[in-house]
Structure 1
Amino acid sequence: MITCVIEYRIDPDKVEAFEHYARMWLRMMPRFGGKPHGYFLPAEGANDIALFLFDFPSLAQYETYRAAMMQDEEVAEAHAHARASGCIIRHERSFFRPLLPSS
């Protein structure tokens, strides 16, 4: 399993627009085989950083998702919303392998 963490730099004056974008992705992600852990929005500290964490069974399955999403109309709508609203300034993707407690 891999966990993808996307760190967003967002416009703090457009958090509602970013939340709309995030809700779109939370609805779409399972359709592509990903397991979302949620978006994490600013609360204390920096007001322009948000995170999205989600899992895929493997990096190969993540790559399959990346190819499929490029052809999806709802994904295009989410990207268009982000561009039109200007809620996302930039984003960065990192991958992690979880170390979980033993049973």
Structure 2
Amino acid sequence: MITCVLHYTIDPAQIEAFERFAREWMRLVNRHGGVHHGYFLPAEGASDRAEALFSFESLAAYERYRSRFGHDPEFVAADRIREESGCVVRYERTFMRPLLPTD
């Protein structure tokens, strides 16, 4: 399993748009073979930071999902929320492997 951790700098004035953007991407990840672990939005402290985590069974499975970017109408529409609202100032993506508890 590979987990993508997204670190966002967001526009706090556009939090509602960011939430719409996030809901769409959670749906798309889950629909296309991943497991979305959620978005984590500002509650206390820095108001311009958000995080997201989602997993795919492998990097190859993630790449199949990523191949839809830019041409699949649902992916384009979800990205349009970000582009039109300016809710995301910048983001960075890190891939991690989980170390899970054992029984």
State the TM-score bracket (shorter-chain normalisation): over 0.9
Counterparts of 1:100 and 1:30, CA distance in 2 = 21
Secondary structure (helix, strand or coil) at the match of 2:46 reads: coil
The residue aligned with 1:16 is 16
SS at match of 1:68: coil
What are the within-5 Å matches in structure 2 for residues 66-85 of structure 1?
66-85=66-85
TM-score, L = length of structure 2: 0.95
Match of 1:27 in 2: 27
Q: How far has the Cα of 1:88 moved from its partner?
A: 0.5
Amino acid corresponding to residue 51 of structure 2 in structure 1:
L
Pairing 1:1-103 to 2, within 5 Å after superposition? 1-103=1-103
How far does the alpha carbon of each residue in 1:6-34 deviate from its partner, in whole angstroms, 9 at most, with x for none? 11110011101100100111111112111
User: Helix, strand or coil: the match of 1:33?
Assistant: coil
Deviation per CA, 1:54-94: give whole Å up to 9, x if none.
00001111111111233311110111111111101011000
TM-score by length of 1: 0.95
RMSD over equivalenced CA pairs, Å: 1.0
Does the CA-based 8 Å contact 2:68-2:75 persist in structure 1? no
* Overall identity of the aligned pairs, in %: 55
- Contact in 1 for aligned 2:10/2:87 (Cα 8 Å): yes
Distance in 2 (alpha carbons) for counterparts of 1:52 and 1:98: 15
- Which secondary structure state, in structure 2, belongs to the residue aligned with residue 69 of structure 1? coil
User: How many equivalent pairs are there?
Assistant: 103
Structure 1 gaps of 5+ residues are none
Q: Which residues of structure 2 form unaligned runs of 5+?
A: none
